[in-house]
Structure 1
Amino acid sequence: MKKSARPYICTLMIALCTSCSVSKFIPENKYLLDEVRIVSETKEVKPSQFNSYIRQNPNAKWFNLVKIPMRTYCISGVDSTKWINRFFRKIGDAPVIYDESVALKSQEEIEKAVRNMGYMGATVHLDKKTKKDKLKLAYHIHAGHPYTVRHVAYDIDDLLISDYMRQDSAQSLLASGMLFDVNVLDAERQRITKLLQNKGYYKFNKDFLVYQADTTRNTYLVDLTLRLLPYQRRKEDLPQKHRQYKVGEVNFLADDEIMSVQEETLAEFDSLRYKEYNMYYKRKAFLRPQVLVDFNRIRPGELYSEQDVQNTYSNLGRLRALKYSNIRFHEVNGKDSTQLDAYVFLAKNKNKSMAFEVEGTNSAGDLGAAASVSFQHRNVFKGSETFMMKVRGAYEAITGLGGASQDYVNDNYMEYGVESSLNFPQFMFPFLSSNFKKRIRATSEVGLKFTSQVRPEFSRTLASASWSYKWTDRKRMQHRFDLVDVNYVYMPRKSSAFQEYLDDMTQKNSLLKASYENQLVVRTGYSFTYNSAGNVVMRTPTKNSYSIRANIEEAGNLLYAASKLVHPNPKDGEDYVLANIPFAQYVKADFDFAKNFMIDPRNSFVFHIGAGVAYPYGNSKMLPFEKRYFSGGANSVRGWSVRSLGPGVYKGSEDGNMDFINQAGDIKLDLNIEYRTHLFWKLNGAAFVDAGNIWTIRDDSGQEGGLFKFNEFYKQIAVAYGLGIRFDLDYLILRFDGGMKAINPVETGKKRYPVIRPRFSRDFAFHFAVGYPF
């Protein structure tokens, strides 16, 4: 069978190669642009700085190797009316035909960019090499000798502006000895403009700052002078001094339609004056005046500040009761008046919403369904507080129970639960000053959750309560502080058969029994996230970036200290309890680092390392199951399915199946390398290598080979490799990854290295996920 198929496969491949000839799409006397390079003879002038000026690039290559998108396009025939030809052209890339005029334009822009860097005599020439119908193009940069600034002087007639600039001189971008870089000179104008706009100069822009550059003959030195031009609204107006403006009245207008202000328009509104602010509204005020004052940064009587305006926009944007906001300033009429009245327009958002979800489930062949209804109110107490409540129910028909015990109360699985949360747009905590609350742009959230699960073998109740804070700093750093997070697990019923099973397994598997006992976890935690590219969780990065995530949490320490004061020694040497339930005591810390290197706009290389350690002590001999680490899955070592790797060289259950309870640990290490490339349309591809494992801190007979040892752990690191497809929908990324085992630490001998003798049925794992793995 296999031998007879070979001729057909070979014939198909030959037909595919001949049918996707590029020549039929290249016009006569034209060339396919096969390669573009930028070459610089000056070390300081790096070619990568000018990639954005290239207006015509060759066809993209998958993984920087093969031009598959172009080959796909060329499978189509010349007749564009046929649907099959249109299909291949849509998913592929048309061959890029070299255009001399576009190349000359790119040459001109690169030359201008190099000269702006201070190499005033720089030239760029084109080097073209043709072979048959293909052309390779190189832009050769001859930078020459750079011009440097010998002396910097300032010609500022306005003494107040001069004083502001002198006070901020430490931030100046200008200095003797610097390159005569036009980009830096313009950045300095923008910096000074921003400084003055925050000092009351409402009408100031960078065009009032100009440079005068004097060069000495036969030298490459420049004497630079920065001059301040007087204020002129129009060329025919007389020059005058730049004026500082102060904020007069601050008015809030709550209306969806009005976007301009006139005295007769305001007469249609109801109004009130709160402290120093005017509030105008129709019908009823939907936000408390105190909330608007707290989130506003524009203060009456203070100098105008552009930064205050932007901070006000940012703060108001956090109020979910608002659809949008708009801020306008009007000059107060009068000769030589320097007062600005501020008008803050507020459009009301829809307060209430409901959502209904239905889903199907399949757990090991047992079919079921789940449904949920959620309700949300975005302005509960007229302070933009968001209240959410969700009710969920699930049912699953369990099969294969066989000789079911008579003490089973039912034969199926049922779950119902309710969760609610109340979110405040401020840092809600007693004894904090109002200045601190305004400085920290935090949200506070209180949450409650209750879930009841009824199975044939047992019934379980889960309840939780939390109080947490979230805030963002400079749009790149995110903080979360969980002041208190209480999780309670109660097992009101266990069937006699299930209890006997747990008792029989106690000697072999202490983790299994602990997972089905009453538990209480009272934790406090803090997490920090930094992303140098901003919020790119659901979008593809476009430049080199990196991210850091750190988390630390502890549980049970306060309860342990209180219990120790009341009872120095617990009864019969057992654990301390609260409401007859032992509480967990542990400390846990995680760290993740990811670095993204952009090769070009279509290709990138990503490196990731993740590590974590958790240590139970005091009142706990082991971690709660939910707090333990696991390995394998879509975001870990992708040659293994989720929760199927480790700890250490633990082989799983005796029957060779996965053991989710035992395949968990106290220490985790993940190392990942991924090459990402754009394929075509909205599809991206990836090739990856993953490594990692988990380990336990204490030796356990139920997890043989899982103990972490410094002299052995590196021998127990699993390695996998594979390929992935990402479907980028801009707002959502669907990910499909296929991983193969390369090094399996559980096996010995030849089986330890499946990369040499791979077996698809044994070594392959498929994963579906949303978003990037790191």
Structure 2
Amino acid sequence: MTRLIKSNLLILACLIWASCSTTKSLKPGQYLYTGAEININPDSAVKITDQKEVKEILLDKTRPQPNKSFLGIKYKLGFYNLAGETTKKKGFKHWLRTKMGEPPVLLSEVKIPYNNAVLKSYLISQGYLQSDVVGDTVIKGKKGKAVYTAETGPRYKINSVLFPNDSSGIATIINNNKANSLLKVGDNYDLDVFKNERDRIDNDLKEQGYFYFSPDYLILQVDSTIGKNSVDIRLKVKDIAPDASLKPYTINHINIFPNYSLRRDSALRTASPEIYNDFRIYDPRKTFKAPLFNRLVFFKKDELYNRRDHNQSLNRMVNIGAFQAVKAEFIPLDSFKNNQLDLNIYLTPLKKNSLSFSVTGTSKSNNFVGSELKLTQTTRNVFKGAEQLDVSASGGFESQVGGQSKALNSYSLTLESKLTFPRFITPFKGINTTNAFIPKTIASLSYQLLHRGSLYDINSFKTQFGYKWNENKYKEHSFNPISVNYVTSSLLTSVQTEIDSILKVTPGLKNVLEKQFIIGSTYGFTYTNQFEDFRRNNIYFNGTLETGGNVWGLFAGKNDRGAKVIAGLELNQFIRLEADFRNYYKITKNVIWANRIDLGYGYAYGGQTTLPFVRQFFAGGTNDIRAWAARSIGPGTYYYKNDPLVANGNYIDQSGDIKALISSELRFKLYGRLYGATFVDAGNIWLRKEDKGSPAIGNLPATVGRVGSGFELKNALKELAVGTGVGLRIDATIFVIRLDVAFPIRKPYNEEGKRWVFDQIDFGNNTWRKENLVYNIGIGYPF
């Protein structure tokens, strides 16, 4: 720790030295440019609306930008000067000067007249039509800055809006949709709104067949001479708009080339097409079945062209995952002399077979947590309807060292086959979606081996049949009406004394060793706008509902414990709910505040008091409460300390029916692709009913109860575990390598009044570090 402190002080000293030497390399007559200053109406007591925001926008538009700085220290310029001049094109000094550093930005590079014009143009675009900007430079010592003074004048508002009133088709469409106009009387003059209004009208016209129309053919004439700081706006179609843009077009022939390549272009065009509905399909090899295109192409012969059908058709052909290239070509008949378009669709299929390798991070609370390597064989167009068969083999691992419990190395092996149909397959006809996204029917079969150190193995066989579809680009649904899961487990010892001692330390493990037979249904809903980078605030939500044995229980008998039984196997009956909400707030371009709330609840009935082990919740680990090893927290205030009878020391494997997790993480860019983070995690798991112990079953001995494992709402906040820490991440875009170090600051298993442990933190103490620091290595962000 002392060495780390010394290293940090040395780095800090270098940065301070670098800050002091920013003007070291300047020649006589050169001045370091320190940035711009914006003054808005300095001689007036009246402030414009959103003055602070406008000032930031104007400041961002000035050029050039000064040297980058952190906490006022121009570190990149410092590295540049520290390296000094060098004629070599490689070596440390060259790397330090060109990669870590940047040359000084000089005051002479500032073009005042250019910046004046840019800033004035922006103010005018925002309605300050009488604005003016005057810039000057101020020099102090070897440094200089630019000062811009903006006199905005009043902001103009819209007095009236006049749309075309002639009898043309375009004027009719514009007037029929003017209620949706973005130009509202009383609103501020805003050039961006004017541009968006032209795009809106263009979109309305495209929906009515005006294929060759363009927003550039519209002009907004503004009259600012009417007084009272107002403008009259008149919208009209330019006289230079070509004739082709002024008439609607209908679709003539729809020609589809499903197996297209440039090499085969001539042969395909001269081939005899298959006529199917309104389509002419040029596919001599019969690569795809004709009915597929009913779900991909929304155009019909003789109907008006419209942009919605155009975009939805393209999106479906791209999203179906069968084609590497998609092109739609609209050809006018007779060189614009009539109002018809031929539609040619060129589709180049992906390879029939492909092999892929992936590295991912997993974070499902009811499954393996850590990182995973996966090899997948994909076969496309299995039945000539763009179906896809994926056969995969994957291996996951979990390893943690340090902390108050000794977590064993664990691994999982998974074999899975999944067949995806790009449509709904149901007993009912006519079920389909008409948006841009392809609905999918998915049938899967899998086997997983989960090996938990030298403690136990779990063998899980699962098959399910269901559907996945997008309501829109933000919302995704998944529904599996039938899901069957059979699980067997075994301790990795047959010695009864060892079994007794293991179950003594980990009484909850007895649930793991019971056979589990689950037949049920699942529904999942996901909402996200994370792909919209322009948003300052992005959110993600995933909610799941699972039921087990509800319908099948009606046809099952009962055993002596009152549990439902099918074919001699005890049927698990339960309801399980989980909600995972995440929020990502961009404080600045390179600083993100990420937050997560994950809540889960399970209710078991029909002879069971807890959820089956493979459906229970866990706490701790690389993507959870990082200050504890995986599965080492809870349930509730329960905690079993070291037991000398167990060879692996104080190993704990705990799970529960209820879960609460709250995480907050500040992510910031350090340099290049290196990012840092500070975080706080809080949460716990509980059993719905406190574990009172269980009698002996077969060769499994009776177990004692787990005091404090039950859930009581009034005590939930008091029983939260809290940990904090810091992390480093290498974000290579396609994957993220993560290293987090965390330690507990609140231990729920301590007696009340002593659960916060701030006073025990001692980084210089080797024993404290060994018992409390937990290192997490993962692939991908924790959430």
Q: Which residue of 2 is the match for residue 300 of structure 1? A: 301
Report matched runs for 1:146-545 at 5 Å.
Answer: 146-216=155-225, 218-230=227-239, 232-233=241-242, 242-258=246-262, 268-282=270-284, 284-333=285-334, 336-354=337-355, 374-390=376-392, 418-433=415-430, 435-436=432-433, 441-451=438-448, 461-490=459-488, 497=494, 501-502=498-499, 510-534=507-531, 541=533, 543-545=535-537
Q: Which residue of 1 is the match for residue 669 of structure 2? A: 678
Distance 2:205 2:392 in 1: 50
1:394/1:695 CA distance change after superposition, 3 Å: closer
Range 433-442 or range 577-586, more displaced: 433-442
Letter in 2 for 1:666: D
Range 88-97 or range 32-41, more displaced: 32-41
1:502/1:171 CA distance change after superposition, 3 Å: farther
Does 2:97 correspond to 1:89? yes
* Secondary structure of the corresponding residue to residue 114 of structure 1: helix
1:645/1:87 CA distance change after superposition, 3 Å: farther
Deviations 1:163-203 (A, max 9, x none): 32233233210111011111101100001001101210011
* Secondary structure of the corresponding residue to residue 97 of structure 1: coil
Letter in 1 for 2:24: K
Q: Which residue of 1 is the match for residue 50 of structure 2? A: 44
Deviations 1:343-370 (A, max 9, x none): 00011211012468999xxxxxxxxxx9
Query: Is residue 674–residue 730 contact of structure 2 (8 Å, CA) maintained in 1?
Result: yes
Q: Post-superposition shift, 1:429?
A: 2.0
**Alignment RMSD, CA only?**
3.8
1:189/1:179 CA distance change after superposition, 3 Å: same
1:195/1:542 CA distance change after superposition, 3 Å: closer
Does 2:562 correspond to 1:574? yes
1:434/1:740 CA distance change after superposition, 3 Å: closer
1:27/1:8 CA distance change after superposition, 3 Å: same
Distance 1:267 1:6 in 2: 73
Q: Post-superposition shift, 1:393?
A: 9.3
Q: Which residue of 2 is the match for residue 708 of structure 1? A: 711
Letter in 2 for 1:488: Y
Q: Post-superposition shift, 1:378?
A: 0.8
Q: Which residue of 2 is the match for residue 366 of structure 1? A: none
Does 2:746 correspond to 1:743? yes
Distance 1:475 1:534 in 2: 10
Distance 1:604 1:459 in 2: 40
Distance 1:352 1:726 in 2: 35
Query: Is residue 26–residue 97 contact of structure 1 (8 Å, CA) maintained in 2?
Result: no
Query: Is residue 91–residue 681 contact of structure 1 (8 Å, CA) maintained in 2?
Result: no
* Secondary structure of the corresponding residue to residue 23 of structure 1: coil
Q: Post-superposition shift, 1:76?
A: 2.3
TM-score, normalised relative to structure 1: 0.83
Q: Extract unaligned runs of 5+ from structure 2.
A: 41-46, 361-371, 398-409, 693-704, 764-768
1:10/1:472 CA distance change after superposition, 3 Å: closer
Does 2:614 correspond to 1:626? yes
Deviations 1:355-397 (A, max 9, x none): 68999xxxxxxxxxx99864321111111111122357999xx
Letter in 2 for 1:465: T
1:70/1:211 CA distance change after superposition, 3 Å: same
Query: Is residue 476–residue 533 contact of structure 1 (8 Å, CA) maintained in 2?
Result: no
Q: How many residues align?
A: 726
Identify the structure with bigger relative contact order (alpha carbons < 8 Å, sequence gap 6+): 2
* Secondary structure of the corresponding residue to residue 85 of structure 1: helix
Residue in structure 1 matching 2:86, options 71, 79, 83: 79
1:627/1:578 CA distance change after superposition, 3 Å: same
Range 175-184 or range 316-325, more displaced: 316-325
Deviations 1:15-46 (A, max 9, x none): 78547733334444444444556565423342
Range 321-330 or range 221-230, more displaced: 221-230
Distance 1:379 1:260 in 2: 20
Letter in 2 for 1:634: T
Distance 1:736 1:11 in 2: 23
Q: Post-superposition shift, 1:581?
A: 1.8
* Secondary structure of the corresponding residue to residue 154 of structure 2: coil
1:534/1:475 CA distance change after superposition, 3 Å: farther
TM-score, normalised relative to structure 2: 0.82
Q: Which residue of 2 is the match for residue 405 of structure 1? A: none
* Secondary structure of the corresponding residue to residue 550 of structure 2: helix
Range 343-352 or range 149-158, more displaced: 149-158
Deviations 1:617-640 (A, max 9, x none): 334211122222222233223222
Distance 2:10 2:391 in 1: 62
Query: Is residue 59–residue 93 contact of structure 1 (8 Å, CA) maintained in 2?
Result: no
Range 272-281 or range 99-108, more displaced: 99-108
Residue in structure 2 matching 1:636, options 624, 629, 632: 624
Q: Which residue of 2 is the match for residue 758 of structure 1? A: 762
Letter in 2 for 1:251: N
Query: Is residue 749–residue 755 contact of structure 2 (8 Å, CA) maintained in 1?
Result: no
1:229/1:675 CA distance change after superposition, 3 Å: same
Distance 2:758 2:267 in 1: 78
Q: Post-superposition shift, 1:513?
A: 1.2
Query: Is residue 648–residue 705 contact of structure 1 (8 Å, CA) maintained in 2?
Result: yes
Distance 1:651 1:589 in 2: 26
Query: Is residue 627–residue 724 contact of structure 2 (8 Å, CA) maintained in 1?
Result: yes
Distance 2:299 2:129 in 1: 45
Q: Post-superposition shift, 1:753?
A: 1.9
Distance 1:547 1:286 in 2: 41
Q: Which residue of 1 is the match for residue 766 of structure 2? A: none
Q: Which residue of 2 is the match for residue 661 of structure 1? A: 653
Query: Is residue 30–residue 97 contact of structure 1 (8 Å, CA) maintained in 2?
Result: no
Q: Post-superposition shift, 1:310?
A: 1.4
1:709/1:456 CA distance change after superposition, 3 Å: closer
Q: Post-superposition shift, 1:54?
A: 4.3
Distance 1:453 1:633 in 2: 16
Query: Is residue 502–residue 513 contact of structure 1 (8 Å, CA) maintained in 2?
Result: no
Q: Post-superposition shift, 1:521?
A: 1.7
Deviations 1:305-325 (A, max 9, x none): 122111111111123332111
Deviations 1:74-107 (A, max 9, x none): 4423335261212323552425524455463445
Residue in structure 2 matching 1:695, options 686, 710, 714: 686
Range 239-248 or range 52-61, more displaced: 52-61
Distance 1:507 1:2 in 2: 42
Letter in 1 for 2:422: P
Deviations 1:470-522 (A, max 9, x none): 2234322222222322110135x778835665567667755211101110122
